[in-house]
Amino acid sequence: MMAPFFKYGLFGDDVSLVVAFITGIGFGFFLERGGFNSAKKLAAQFYFTDLTVFKVMFTAIITAMVGLYYLSVIGFLDLSLVYLTPTFLLPQVVGGLLLGFGFVIGGYCPGTSCVAVSTGRIDAMVYLGGTMFGILVFGEVFPLVSNFYVSTPMGQITLPQITGLPYGLLVFLVVLMALGGFVGAEWVERKMASKKAGAAL
Amino acid sequence: MSTQGERHPQPYWNPYVAGIGLGLVLLASFVVMGRGLGASGAFSSLVTVGVQSIAPDHVAHNEFYSEYIGDGTKSPLKDWLVFEVLGVFVGGFISGSLAHRVTKVVEKGPNISTRGRLLFAFAGGGLMGIGAKLARGCTSGQALTGGALFNVGSWAFMMMVFGGAYAMAYFVRRQWQ
């Protein structure tokens, strides 16, 4: 085992900030390459006309997932040292719902709004202002919602642990599901495009 | 800068190619740092610093803000996510400039005024800020990062994000179509 490098002490906190900056550059670069700087393109996901959000997101998830799996199988990476956010089911379900509403109303999510701001999208600048206002509101009402915030705690828990299925099998199933999803997404896009062309005649 | 005078925005990459690139960045972050990507956390640090500069006592007595302050030995802005998000701005700008996609524009459908679109953008951002804090992360920190790690809460979160957005889409269709 030699990875995660930071956890094995290969470099310290100051260098980690340089790593953060470089990682962010890569993150922002590929977000923009995929078209995530455009609210119109992002929102189109929810009208079935352009399913780029699903395609990019699930390609990224399975790429990282398969990579993690093989790196841990060959003994290069200690998966238990990769930070896992603890699960608090109910607040995460409600938070996810609010985030979903905000996504189609605002047109971005926090990460995508950053690349939209740096490529000149004025609505993204306003959106980001709204996000910070929302965080401020949450901070101010936190004493009132703190009980809910820590409700239904499940600890650091993964799908392999909760289902009892082998890790590799779940990787395989998610990859299969994603590939099926991609085929379906291409079909839906073609269908919507021909419907639109039909309506224009 | 292109010398041929070719200034038309280039088309975006194939989504699967962009997705593989994004996945490799995420994987590299796991391998090098032992953590995934994020976005909303950086803005929480920024908001905390803002509130702290106005009302330091208030921040010290609030559990939410004090989590971003830490033990007070270093600035809340000297934080991994803050530096990562700075990089996201830069990376987006690099990619956008290379493809001539940096333009001052308001993204909206033809049937809504600019003012209306900006109001929606602010409201959506606000909901997103509240939701991301309640869920302990946003699309980057939860859906993408937690998704790749099989995190139970992240998968529940991700389903709800898509469910919520599809449920709301009909009501705001005027904005996009």
Could you report the per-residue pLDDT of B123-145, keeping only the tens digit for each?
A: 999 999 999 999 999 999 999 99
CA distances from B34 to A9, A17, B139 (A): 11, 14, 19
Q: Which secondary-structure segment (H or E) carries A153? A: strand A153-155
Q: What value does the mean pLDDT take over residues A184-199?
A: 91
Please give the Cα distance from B117 to B108 (Å, whole number): 7
Alpha helices in A74-166 (DSSP H): 89-106, 110-118, 122-149, 159-163
Q: How large is the greatest C-alpha to C-alpha distance in chain A, in angstroms?
A: 65
What's residue A111's pLDDT? 95
Residues of A in contact with B170 (CB under 8 A): none
- In our burial notation (b when 16+ CB lie closer than 10 A, e otherwise), range A52-84 reads bbbbbbbbbbbbbbbbbbebbeeeebbbeebeb
Q: How large is the greatest C-alpha to C-alpha distance in chain B, in angstroms?
A: 60
Q: Which residues contact B144 (CB under 8 A, 6 or more apart)?
A: A57, A60, A61, B22, B26, B36, B37
Nearest CB among A16, A40, A103 relative to B165 is that of A103
Please give the Cα distance from B34 to A78 (Å, whole number): 9
What's residue A21's pLDDT? 98
Residue of A nearest to B127 (CA): A102
- Dig out the tokens for A50 from the structure: 């352009």
CA distances from A59 to A14, A18, A56, B12 (A): 32, 27, 5, 16
Is B162 touching A (CB cutoff 8 A)? yes
ipTM of the complex: 0.96
Mark yes or no for CB contact A17/B78 under 8 Å: yes
Please give the Cα distance from A82 to B76 (Å, whole number): 23
What is the Cβ-side half-sphere exposure of residue A68, based on CA atoms within 13 angstroms?
Answer: 34
Neighbours of B60 (CB within 10 A): 12
Q: What value does the mean pLDDT take over residues B71-82?
A: 89
Q: Which residues contact B86 (CB under 8 A, 6 or more apart)?
A: A21, A24
Interface test with A, best of B10, B13, B32, B67 (most A CBs within 10 A): B32
Confidence of residue B28 (pLDDT cuts 50, 70, 90): very high
Nearest CB among B17, B84, B103 relative to A20 is that of B84
* A83 close to B38: Cβ distance less than 8 angstroms: no
Q: Cα distance from A181 to chain B (closest Cα, Å)?
A: 12
Mark yes or no for CB contact A116/B107 under 8 Å: yes
Tens of pLDDT, residues A124-155: 999 999 999 999 999 999 999 999 999 999 99
Please give the Cα distance from A25 to A13 (Å, whole number): 19
What is the Cβ-side half-sphere exposure of residue B15, based on CA atoms within 13 angstroms?
Answer: 18
> For tokens 């919602």, what's the residue?
A145
pLDDT at B100 over 80: yes
Residue of B nearest to A133 (CA): B126
Q: Which residues contact A162 (CB under 8 A, 6 or more apart)?
A: B152
Question: A158: which DSSP letter?
Answer: B
pLDDT at B5 over 70: no
Closest CA to B8 of B98, B92, B101: B101
